[in-house]
């Protein structure tokens, strides 16, 4: 009886065995199932081959010089970002080796000499685990992408902003490079919803999100902070650099918003605060409070303008 890969596309199976004749024997069985096989005889070769990222299953010799199969399994498990099943092939029949193999991160065991049908059955079962795991990993990636995204505008949401702000502040503190936060708020947004309905309001928010995504450099990250308020994280930007970006966004919004929705020409107000002008402990709260105080002043100065944090005016507020 022959088991083939008829149920799925051919898989890539990595054989790791220090004895070339054994590796060749296993390779023939693997290929007879319709799969692609690569054989490695040393642990360094094996890590290189695995690092290429296209391996679906590993058949691992337990006893090898220098780094044995158990140790190599631990290394692979600690490095891999995806779950690849590992089956140990070994002459060791004792239970101790079985325990060691499973504890090291192996999934199953085959005792040498390898019986072709035994191996074919294991390959089939392990590849099923591999494809289920891949589907799960893909779903997890999609879910975490969705969890970080604002559903209306498609840009980052408040949760991903908070996470990124923390890590960017740390990077800024370590590298000494400035980091600036822009807070942007659509002026009189409530009147858009009141006068034109929520569908138009939503369309305006989407247009603003698109404008932010298009106007920012690759390293600047736009977010919907909440309601009609947006934020842009500008790594490696002084407050003045970020204000220039803010001014471009402000002007572009005034210029293009009229054609974007039925609500006519709209404007936005922007506040900026960066690590280059703030003093004292730089926490996410401190930089956000400062940017918010600057935004408040922009609103207070008649809206449709960019204000940078100024301790003279904003210190009390901040």
CB of 64 to Mg ion, least distance (A): 5
CB of 121 to Mg ion, least distance (A): 23
Write the burial class of residue 147 (CB in 10 Å: 0-12 exposed, 13-18 middle, 19+ buried).
exposed
Pick the closer one to Mg ion by CB: 38 or 90: 90
Pick the closer one to Mg ion by CB: 61 or 314: 61
Pick the closer one to Mg ion by CB: 66 or 143: 66
Give the residue from 2, 16, 13 showing the smallest Cα distance to 126.
13
- Exposure string of 245-265, with b = 16+ CB inside 10 Å and e = fewer, is bbeebbeebeeebeebbebee
Pick the closer one to Mg ion by CB: 18 or 240: 18
Catalytic (active site) residue 228: yes
Q: Using CB under 5 A, which of the segments 15-23, 40-48, 240-248, 268-276 binds Mg ion?
A: 15-23
Cα–Cα dist 6/208, whole Å: 50
CB of 89 to Mg ion, least distance (A): 9
- Site for Mg ion contains 310 (CB under 5 A): no
Phi and psi torsions of 173, nearest 5° = -65, -35
Tokens for 29, please give them.
């069985």
- Site for Mg ion contains 150 (CB under 5 A): no
- Catalytic residue among 31, 228, 247, 281, which? 228
- Site for Mg ion contains 61 (CB under 5 A): yes
| Contact status, residue 185 vs residue 269, Cβ threshold 8 Å | yes
Cα–Cα dist 59/86, whole Å: 6
CB of 16 to Mg ion, least distance (A): 9
- Site for Mg ion contains 68 (CB under 5 A): no
Q: Using CB under 5 A, which of the segments 18-26, 170-178, 247-255, 310-318 binds Mg ion?
A: 18-26
Phi and psi torsions of 161, nearest 5° = -60, -50
Cα–Cα dist 284/205, whole Å: 25
Q: Using CB under 5 A, which of the segments 61-69, 154-162, 257-265, 309-317 binds Mg ion?
A: 61-69
- Site for Mg ion contains 63 (CB under 5 A): yes
Q: Which of 3, 8, 18, 74 binds Mg ion (CB under 5 A)?
A: 18
The β-bridge partners of 103 are none
Cα maximum dimension of the chain: 85
First to last CA, the chain: 77
CB of 86 to Mg ion, least distance (A): 15
CB of 88 to Mg ion, least distance (A): 11
Pick the closer one to Mg ion by CB: 20 or 226: 20
Task: Output the CA angle 155-159-164, nearest 5 degrees.
Answer: 80
Which residues touch 27 (CB under 8 Å, ≥6 apart)?
A: 15, 37, 39
Q: Using CB under 5 A, which of the segments 54-62, 139-147, 157-165, 230-238 binds Mg ion?
A: 54-62
Cα–Cα dist 17/285, whole Å: 56
* DSSP assigned state of 224: E
Pick the closer one to Mg ion by CB: 37 or 231: 37
Q: Using CB under 5 A, which of the segments 12-20, 201-209, 274-282, 298-306 binds Mg ion?
A: 12-20
Active site residues: 228
Residues forming the site for Mg ion (CB under 5 A): 18, 61, 63-64
């Amino acid at each position: 009886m022959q088991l083939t890969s008829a149920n799925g596309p051919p898989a890539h199976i990595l054989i790791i065995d220090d004895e070339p004749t054994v590796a060749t024997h296993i390779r023939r069985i693997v290929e007879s199932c319709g799969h692609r096989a690569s054989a490695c005889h040393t642990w360094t070769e094996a890590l290189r081959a695995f690092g290429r990222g296209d391996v679906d299953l590993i058949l691992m010799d337990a006893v090898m010089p220098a780094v044995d199969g158990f140790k190599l399994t631990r290394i692979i498990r600690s490095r891999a970002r995806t779950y690849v099943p590992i089956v140990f092939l070994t002459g060791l029949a004792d239970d101790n080796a079985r325990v060691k193999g499973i504890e090291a991160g192996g999934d199953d065991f085959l005792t040498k000499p390898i019986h072709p049908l035994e191996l074919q059955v294991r390959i089939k079962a392990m590849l099923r685990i591999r494809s289920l795991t891949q589907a799960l990993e893909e779903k997890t990636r999609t879910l975490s992408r969705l969890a970080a995204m604002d559903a209306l505008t498609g840009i980052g949401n408040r949760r991903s902003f908070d996470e990124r702000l923390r890590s960017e502040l740390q990077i800024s503190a370590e590298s000494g490079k400035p980091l600036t936060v822009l807070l942007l708020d659509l002026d009189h947004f409530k009147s858009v919803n009141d006068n034109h309905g929520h569908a138009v309001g939503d369309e305006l928010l989407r247009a603003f999100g698109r404008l932010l995504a298009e106007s920012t450099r690759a390293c600047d990250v736009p977010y919907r902070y909440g309601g009609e308020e947006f934020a842009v994280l500008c790594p490696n930007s002084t407050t003045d650099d970020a204000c220039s970006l803010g001014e471009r966004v402000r002007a572009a919004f005034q210029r293009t918003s009229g054609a974007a929705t039925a609500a006519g020409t709209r404007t936005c107000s922007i506040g900026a605060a960066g690590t280059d002008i703030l003093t004292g402990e730089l926490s996410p709260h401190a930089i956000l409070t400062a940017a918010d105080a600057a935004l408040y002043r922009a609103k207070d100065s008649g809206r449709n303008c960019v204000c940078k944090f100024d301790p003279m005016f904003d210190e009390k507020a901040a």
